[in-house]
Chains A and B, each alone.
Chain A
């Protein structure tokens, strides 16, 4: 007899997260179902799914945002639960409601929680009203006619954000207040384009900020726990690149304070399932940033230090079970680090790359986990987010985790698609990163990290020899030179 009131779960997602969820479904004896887009070809998730349906749309992304099509696929395969993963429809209250109305179990928080936290302005007001720390700010909706004056009064530097935003889109830093008007105009048009909603708010910008977030879980019986914090301060263009747990710079009392704030916020909104409360930490304390009502990309670092399977816990909560552990039973063992392997060229301002994965050899070894969204022989298109895989390591402490990550990155072979692996290695070798002195602007401040090293003469010789003898055209042409000519010596210009 299964511990779940559902026998199958549809993953409404793709890439590494689809494979990761299907793995847990299989381990729990649930039938794993999948929707996929044909542009992805063969993927790890397809290999794990017990049934699948293709979805299509005007763009590949639109296919994964198409609620009626995904519900039809769920019905067709007899799905009894839906897990949305992250991105796409994971924070779409309309989708959550539609799944529930179809009599299917929604693996996520209530549509009301999603709506409350999805609107950044409402979320801030809610969090502030419950007494949790917010950055000094001006919200357009409070009084649109005085918005600019109130923003100006906060004093520079300022950060403009879209009310309906997320993922760093439409955000702008203003250091010179004479440009505030102009920057508000740009932000407004970006917000309208990305989110269909031009409302803004402005916060005092914290210079050299650290991004600290807390994993929370709630159940249908009022249980709420935190699973410790993560630090995700190494970012490029407001997107995370390296995440770790615990946060290296926090004292135990700060750690206790930030985790208590996160638990309090989750409890205040009667949160169910896995969620993340994000904070910005500056020189003078921490502020609520936003709450993500879904599983996060970087959840494996939390799994590594707690020994929990967050997807299994999500499924248990969705099944109506109480959390299987109490707060004091949540472990915090050692240190975990995750790096995101992106199909992008750091030397070309992180432009996305594409191609065929000609060779993929994951790293192995103690404490190493590799969650990949691609297979050897598979294709990487520019149609989706450029994240190819996540490499996660665990060590007894941060120093050991760093050593293991450097070794794992050097062992990882990914040929055929330009990636950020060299940037990640340079980043982990950086003195400030190694010492934990990090902030969200560090990568942008150090273009040298993306530049790559000059070739040593021996390296150059090996590369030229290996490349030349691998090219059929070169080998064929040399083999065709008659022995007589060869004996007379090489011609050169």
Chain B
């Protein structure tokens, strides 16, 4: 099961699988669970346990955690990529969340098509592929493997191709 969760400006790729023996886990094996605890809910991720209030309306999840309210929006992979195409008209590949570079899949000067994978980043143990927002030519390298960056950073620019 794959999709994306937007928390404010951050967008997180989500891969969840059934755990052997029941329950759920993230792609890296971290188990997660959610169960009722009185009028609230108890969330468990690996060794972290928290009590939260949750309300769901369509694709929006509202969570009250430790005194702060968050609005989280679910996007299927299809919706996510449709948005990326709209947002990428200027050719910049933006980091959807803070993290570190895992792989750089293209070189400066390479020709790419819309949607080609250009970079793999990791955030919170989840890997996300960044894709070309338009057809064109890869600009100068801005980040190398292992570099870290903030949410919204321009990771790469795709110039207008010939």
Chain A residues at the B interface, C-beta cutoff of 8 Å: 355-356, 358-359, 361, 409-411, 413-416, 418-419, 421-422, 425, 452, 454-455, 457-474, 477-479, 481, 483, 486-487, 489-493
Contact = CB atoms under 8 A, between A and B. Distances in A.
A490 B27 contact: yes
B71 to A, nearest CB: 7
Contacts of B10: 455, 460
16 contacts: A358-B57, A359-B62, A415-B69, A425-B68, A452-B8, A462-B50, A465-B32, A465-B43, A466-B54, A467-B72, A467-B74, A481-B1, A486-B18, A489-B17, A490-B15, A490-B25
A410 B72 CA distance: 19
A234 B152 CA distance: 33
A359 B63 CA distance: 10
B14 A458 contact: no
Contact of B34 (A358, A415, A419, A465): A465
Contacts of B72: 463, 467
Which among B25, B64, B117 has the greatest number of chain A C-beta atoms within 10 A?
B64
Contact of B14 (A411, A462, A468, A487): A468
Q: Does more than half of chain B's interface fall in helix, strand or loop, or is it mixed?
A: strand
B150 to A, nearest CB: 9
Interface of B: 1-3, 5, 7-8, 10, 12, 14-20, 24-25, 27, 32-34, 39, 41, 43-46, 48, 50, 52-57, 59, 61-72, 74, 76, 98, 117, 124, 127, 129
A462 B8 CA distance: 15
Contacts of A355: 57
A490 B63 contact: no
Q: Summarize A's interface: helix, strand, loop or mixed.
A: helix
Contact of A478 (B1, B65, B74): B1
A422 B55 contact: no
B17 A470 contact: no
Choose among A411, A464, A467 the residue with the greatest number of B CB atoms under 10 Å from its CB. A467
A469 B32 contact: yes
A460 B124 contact: yes
B134 to A, nearest CB: 20
B145 to A, nearest CB: 18
A461 B12 CA distance: 10
Contacts of A469: 24, 32-34, 43
Contact of A468 (B19, B32, B68, B127): B32
